[in-house]
């Protein structure tokens, strides 16, 4: 039976997923759809968002948004609520990688700004707008911020902006969990290991690079986006109703090896 929004006995679950046009974001959006959610799919790549919605069929809704822009974050939440009536779940999966790997003292300052603007500031802006909508409706909700094991141990050298952005994201999830607990809004993070996505397929396409990573992972394989999606679905569900302010590591054992 479909889990209902607390206090709304006839309301189906509705989630908004940023970065839903590809990779982990798309996998989470589709997994939520299979679990009975209606899903608003936001991405700055409208074609990607439309493709995810095509796979979701009637339970999906596409929104074009760049999470680095406050006005886009506001409008994507408003459009999602207007279309579905309310918002019970939110997943911040929009993110980018570094384009220039370099020691911190050789890093172009604009590369630092670019990565943090999307991964951390964009997550903050979009999550705050989603939280504002949930608090306004007064029915609570749950949020998942997609981080990385890089927040705890840099898997490769020369990616200081990415590491800092993901560490900040985990801290943000804990702060928001405390801020919004009185409004019955749970906020958690997930920390994926290395995942095969459109962002990583170039580097992982090199056989020696991929073999080196797999040798360090106890389960001996690179993750697929679907391996990460289940954790997000769980943390948004009523099965996780007493979990907030934590980060769930999904890395095939990388961080304990």
Long-range CB contacts for residues 2-6, cutoff 8 Å, separation at least 24 = 2/36, 3/36, 3/237, 3/238, 5/86, 5/88, 5/139, 5/140, 5/141, 6/139, 6/140, 6/184
Short-list 200, 234, 194, CA closest to 28: 234
**Marked catalytic residue, from 37, 84, 162, 180:** 162
Active site residue 242: no
Q: How far apart are the C-alpha atoms of 186 and 75, rounded to whole Å?
A: 23
Q: How far apart are the C-alpha atoms of 198 and 64, rounded to whole Å?
A: 19
Q: How far apart are the C-alpha atoms of 141 and 86, rounded to whole Å?
A: 10
Q: How far apart are the C-alpha atoms of 173 and 246, rounded to whole Å?
A: 8
For the annotated catalytic residues, the residue numbers are 162
């Amino acid at each position: 039976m479909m889990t209902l929004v607390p206090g709304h006995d006839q309301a189906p679950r509705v989630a908004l997923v940023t970065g839903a046009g590809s990779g982990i974001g798309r996998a989470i959006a589709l997994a939520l759809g299979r679990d009975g959610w209606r899903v608003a799919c936001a991405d700055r790549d409208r074609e990607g968002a439309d493709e995810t919605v095509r796979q979701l069929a009637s339970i999906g809704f596409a929104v074009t948004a760049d999470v680095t822009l406050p006005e886009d974050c506001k409008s994507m939440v408003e459009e999602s609520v207007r279309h579905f009536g309310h918002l019970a779940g939110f997943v911040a999966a929009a993110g980018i990688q570094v384009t220039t790997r370099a020691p911190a003292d050789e890093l172009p300052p604009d590369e630092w700004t670019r990565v943090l603007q999307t991964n951390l500031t964009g997550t903050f802006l979009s999550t705050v707008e989603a939280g504002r909508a949930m608090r306004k409706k007064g029915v609570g909700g749950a949020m998942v911020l997609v981080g990385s094991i890089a927040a705890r141990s840099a898997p490769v050298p020369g990616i200081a902006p990415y590491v800092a952005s993901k560490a900040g994201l985990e801290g943000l999830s804990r702060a928001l969990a405390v801020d919004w607990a009185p409004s019955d809004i749970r906020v958690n993070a997930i920390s994926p290991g290395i995942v095969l996505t459109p962002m990583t397929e170039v580097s992982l396409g090199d056989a020696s690079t991929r073999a080196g990573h797999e040798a360090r992972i106890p389960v001996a394989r690179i993750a697929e986006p679907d391996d990460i999606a289940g954790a997000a679905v769980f943390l948004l569900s009523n099965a996780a109703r007493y979990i907030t302010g934590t980060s769930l590591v999904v890395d095939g054992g990388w961080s304990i090896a």
